Chain A
Amino acid sequence: MNDCVLKINNLTKTYKSTDVLHNVSITLEAGKIYGLIGQNGAGKTTLMRLIAGLSFPKSGSIELFGHTGEKALQTERKRLGSMIEYPGLTPNMSAGDNLKLHRIMRGIPNKEVEAELLTLVGLGGTGKKKAKNFSLGMKQRLGIAIALLGNPELLILDEPINGLDPIGVVEIRNLLIKLCEERQMTILISSHNLPELYQTATDYIIIHKGEIKQTLTLERLEENCRHHILISCDQPEKLTSILEMALNTTNYKVMPDQSVKLYDYLDDKALVARLIFENGIIVTNFSIEGDTLENYFISVVGGESHA
C-alpha cells in the first residue's frame, strides 16, 4: 500500500527572520511508521505543528490525504491524531473524563471507545484519579489515548516515550507497531531515543537545523550502519570474483562508485588484504566501516563520529 498520506513541498517557516525550517519536502505513505530524528531545535516540533495547523508556514505547501489549501486541510485534519510537545490534559479530570471531553469535542458518539482506549494504553485501572496526580508516563499514555480517538489515519507523536518506564516503552512501541500493521495507520514519531526509534520505525527522516538531511528506509539504515570492509580498487570485477572463488563468500555489495562492501572476514582482514595483493589488484582504500545508529546520525548531520 503506497497511498500518499502527507506530502510536504518546500516548506519554510521563519521565526523573527530566522528560518527554523528551510525548504522541507517529505512524503509519508500509508501504513508506515516514520521516525523523525533531529537534535533539539532541529525543527521536529515546528514541522509537526505546521502539519497540525497550529502554526503557519512562510512558504511551501502541505498536502494531506491528497488535499491542499487551508480549508481543505482543516477538513482533512479530522483524520489526524496528534500529541505535540506534551499531552493536553485537563488536570482536574480523571483519565476517563479527559477522554470523554475529547470524544465529545470530536463528535464521536461511541462511548465504549473511552474504556477501550484506556485499556489499550494501560490506564484501565486509574478510576477517578485526577490527571494532575498522574506520573509523566501516565500522562504520556493518556495523551496517546486522546490522539488515538476516532481511529486516525495519520498519527503524529512528538517524543511519545518521554517519561515512560522501560515496560511502558515496550508497551507503547508494540501498540504503535500493532496500529500500523492492523489498521494501516501512518505514524510520524519524533524522538531523541535513536535505539528506540530503530525498533519502532520503518522509515527515517533525519532533520538538522531546519533542513531534511536524509530520508531512508529501515533496510537502508541497517545497510548503512552494518559493519563491513570497504574496498576501493582499480579492478572491482576481479575483486568480486576473488571474493567468491578464493574466500567462498557472496556476502558483499558493489556500490555505485564501484567500491565493494564486504560483510564477511571482518575478523580476518589480513587474509583479504593478502589475497587482493597477491592477485595484483591496486587498492586505493581498505577500511572497516559501519556505525552505531547514533554515529550514523552524527555523520549525516555533519558532526564528528564518536565511535
Chain B
Amino acid sequence: MLRFLARRLATMVLTALCLTFIVFWLTNLPPNLEKVAKSEAGSRISDAEVASWLQKYGYDRPVLLRYGEWLGVVPAHVAQGPDGPVGRCLPRGTDPATAPSFCGILQGGWGFSNVFKEPVGGIVAKRLGLTGWLMFAVMAVMVPAALLIGVLSGMREGSKLDRALSSASIVTTATPEYVSGVILVTLFASSVTGLKWFKGTATGAMEDITFENFFLPVMTIALYGIGYIARMTRASMAEVMTQQYIRTARLKGVRFRDVVIRHALRNALIAPFTVIMLQFPWLLNGVVIVETLFNYKGFGWTLVQAAGNNDIDLLLGCSIVAVIVVLVTQLISDLGYALLNPRIRLS
C-alpha cells in the first residue's frame, strides 16, 4: 500500500512538473512575450525596442532557466528598472538587501498578474472560493439526483420507469453546457416565454447567493453530469440485480425494497464512486463554460481572462490548481475503489 502510494505520488509530481513546464513554454513563446512587452512598455514600440525590453527584464534567457526561477530552484533574476532593481523577489518598494533570492512557486511566490495588477496567489484564492460555492451546489444537486435516477432505473431493467429515465439521461449527456445553458436561459429567464423565474446572469451571486440567481448555472453544470453518472449507476445496479445473492434474498422472501436498499445498493455504488471522482476534471470544463456564459467571475472565468490576455503568471497559477484537482481526484478515485472493493488489490 505504501509503495503504491509513493509511486503514485512520484508520478503525480512528475506529471505536474511536465504540465507546468509545457504551459510555461507555450505562454513564453516569442509572440506571447512580444505581447507582454507591448502591454507593459506601450503598444506602439518597434521590434528593436521590444527586443531590448525583453533583454532588460531577462525574458531572453533560456526557457528552462526561467522555468527554474518560476519553480523556485534557481535564484530569481534581478533587472534594473527605471527606479531601482526589480524582479520576482522585488515587488515595487522592497529593499533589495533584505529580499530573498529564491521566489518560486515552492517558496509560495505565485507571481504577479499583469491583467488584474494584483498578486496571483490572492486572485486564485478569491476566485477559487467563488467557484467552490458553485461546485458545492453542483455536487449537492448532481450526486443525489444521479444516484437516485440510476438506482431507480437499474433496479428493474427494462421497465417503463427505466425506459423513461434512461432516455432522459441520454438526452442530458448529449447536451453540452453551452447548449443547456442557452436553452435554460431561454426557457426560464427570457422575455420569449415570459417565465422570468430565474436570472440569466449570476453576477449577483458573487455577493449574495440566492435561489434566483444561482439555480440556472448550477443546473446547467449538473444536468450534463447527472445523465452520465446515472447511466453508470444504472449499468452497475442492473448487473448487481442479476447476482445470485439477490435472487437468494428474494427467494427467502425479503421485500423488494429491502433487497434493493440493504443488499444491492452497497455493491452497486462502487463503480459510480469512481465515475463521480473522475467527473471533477470534466466539471472544471463545465465551470469554465458556465462561468463565462453566466458571467460569474470565479476560477473558470479567471482562466479564460488569463488565457485570452496571455497573463503568464496567472495562467500558470490556474493550471497548477487545475492539474492538482485532476491528479488528486484520480488518486482518490483509485484509492477509494480499492478500499470499497476488497477484491481489488493495489499494485
Task: Say whether A associates with B.
Answer: no
Question: B residues engaging A (CB < 8 A)?
Answer: none
